[in-house]
C-alpha cells in the first residue's frame, strides 16, 4: 500500500478524529485543516469564509478528504438554519476546489455525503447508488453537497461516501438514543417501523482507507445494515441490560417538538451496500447485535 499525504477538512469531529487515527496507523501522512492551528504540528490553518488556506495544505497533497458541515440535528430547522446547513457544506467545498486548481499532485477527492439522499416513505425498496434523489430537504442538501464535490472531477478522482448513522463508543446518535434507555425512559419513536441505516465507526474509517487504497471513484452507500427503529431500540436496550418500560413516542409529539427536523427520526430508508462490496470491501460488522457489543465494549 502506497503511503500518501492526506489532508482532512472537518477533521475535528467524531468521524474526523477516528479517521485521523486510522489513517496514521496505516502509515499515511495526515494533516487536518483548522481555523485554530496553533501549537498542533498536524493542523494547518484554513478559514473558508475569509478565503484563507495554508500553502502547505495544498503542496504535495495527494488525497483531500472533506467532512465539513454543521450537524443536521443540532438545531431546529428554521429558514436561517437551513441556509446555514447547506452553506456549511457547499461553500467550503467550492473554496477547496478553487484552492486546488493549480495542484499537480492531487489524485483523489473524498467527500462525506448522506445516505438520506433517497426518497422517504418507501418501506420495501432497497436503494442503490444510481437511484434518484428524493424531494425532501435532506435529499436536497445531499444533492447540492454532491454537486459541489463533483467540481473536482476535472482535477482528480472523486468519491462520495453516503454515510448512514455512525455507531460510535461516545457521542453521536448512539449516545443520544442510549441516554434515555439508561434512565429507564427509552422507547421506540413514532410507529417504530421506520428503517435505521447504520455503520460502525470501525467500518466507516476502514471504508475511507479502502477508497484510498483502491483509488475508487463515484458514489458509494456507507451502510452495513438497516434495522427498524423498534428493533434497534430493543437490541440496544438488551445490550445495555436495561428494560424498555415506556410506550412509543407518538409521531405528533415529535413533530410538535422538532418540526420538520422530525423527519430524521420518523422516516428512514434501506440502501444497498453491494456496490462497495463489489470493490473488495468486507464489513467487520453487518449484524446489529455484534455491532452494538463491539461499539459499547459489551462483547
What's the farthest any 2 CA atoms get from each other in the chain? 60
Backbone angles phi, psi at 18, to 5 degrees: -65, -40
C-alpha cell at position 39: 501549537
Indicate the angle between helix axes 137-149 and 79-99, nearest 10 degrees: 10
With contact defined as beta carbons under 8 Å apart, do 208 and 30 qualify? no
Gap between the Cα atoms of 144 and 226, Å rounded: 25
Q: What is the DSSP string of 84-135?
A: HHHHHHHHHHHHHHHHTTT-SS--EEEEEEEGGGS-SS-SS-EE-TTSPP-S
Gap between the Cα atoms of 90 and 34, Å rounded: 17
The secondary element (H helix, E strand) that includes residue 234 is helix 229-239
154 Cβ neighbours under 8 A, 6+ residues apart: none
Q: What is residue 186's predicted lDDT score, i.e. its pLDDT?
A: 87
CATH of 5-295, one of 2.60.120.200, 3.40.50.720, 3.40.50.1260, 1.10.1520.10: 3.40.50.720
At residue 59, the 3 state secondary structure works out as: coil
Backbone angles phi, psi at 286, to 5 degrees: -115, -5
At residue 283, the 3 state secondary structure works out as: coil
Q: What is residue 170's predicted lDDT score, i.e. its pLDDT?
A: 87
With CA atoms as reference, report the closest residue to 156 among 69, 220, 215, 89: 215
72 Cβ neighbours under 8 A, 6+ residues apart: 85, 138, 141, 261, 264
Tens of pLDDT along the chain (299 residues) come to 689 999 999 988 899 999 999 999 999 999 999 987 665 778 999 999 999 999 999 999 999 999 999 999 888 999 999 999 999 999 999 999 999 999 999 999 999 999 999 998 677 899 999 999 999 999 999 999 999 999 999 999 999 999 999 999 988 888 888 888 898 888 888 889 999 999 999 999 999 999 999 999 999 999 999 999 999 999 999 999 999 888 888 787 878 777 887 887 778 899 999 999 999 999 999 999 999 999 998 75
Amino acid at each position: 500500500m502506497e503511503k500518501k499525504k492526506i489532508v482532512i477538512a472537518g477533521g475535528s469531529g467524531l468521524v474526523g478524529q477516528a479517521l485521523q487515527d486510522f489513517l496514521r496507523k496505516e502509515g499515511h501522512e495526515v494533516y487536518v485543516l483548522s481555523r485554530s492551528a496553533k501549537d498542533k504540528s498536524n493542523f494547518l490553518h484554513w478559514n473558508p469564509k475569509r478565503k484563507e488556506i495554508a500553502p502547505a495544505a495544498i503542496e504535495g497533497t495527494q488525497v483531500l478528504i472533506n467532512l465539513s458541515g454543521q450537524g443536521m440535528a443540532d438545531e431546529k430547522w428554521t429558514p436561517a438554519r437551513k441556509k446555514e446547513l447547506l452553506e456549511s457544506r457547499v461553500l467550503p467545498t467550492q473554496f477547496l476546489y478553487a484552492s486546488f486548481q493549480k495542484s499537480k499532485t492531487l489524485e483523489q477527492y473524498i467527500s462525506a455525503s448522506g445516505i438520506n439522499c433517497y426518497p422517504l416513505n418507501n418501506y420495501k425498496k432497497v436503494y442503490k447508488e444510481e437511484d434518484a434523489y428524493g424531494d425532501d430537504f435532506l435529499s436536497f442538501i445531499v444533492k447540492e453537497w454532491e454537486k459541489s464535490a463533483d467540481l473536482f472531477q476535472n482535477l482528480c478522482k472523486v468519491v462520495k461516501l453516503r454515510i448512514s448513522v455512525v455507531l460510535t463508543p461516545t457521542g453521536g446518535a448512539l449516545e443520544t438514543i442510549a441516554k434515555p434507555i439508561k434512565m429507564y425512559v427509552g422507547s421506540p419513536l413514532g410507529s417504530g417501523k421506520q428503517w435505521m441505516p447504520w455503520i460502525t465507526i470501525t467500518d466507516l474509517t476502514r471504508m475511507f482507507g479502502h477508497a484510498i487504497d483502491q483509488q475508487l471513484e463515484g458514489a458509494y452507500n456507507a451502510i452495513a445494515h438497516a434495522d427498524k427503529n423498534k428493533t434497534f431500540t430493543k437490541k440496544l436496550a438488551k445490550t445495555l441490560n436495561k428494560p424498555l418500560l415506556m410506550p412509543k413516542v407518538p409521531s405528533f409529539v415529535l413533530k410538535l417538538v422538532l418540526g420538520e427536523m422530525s423527519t430524521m427520526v420518523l422516516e428512514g430508508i434501506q440502501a444497498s451496500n453491494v456496490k462497495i462490496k463489489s470493490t473488495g470491501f468486507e464489513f467487520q460488522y453487518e449484524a446489529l447485535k455484534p455491532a452494538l457489543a463491539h461499539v459499547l465494549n459489551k462483547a
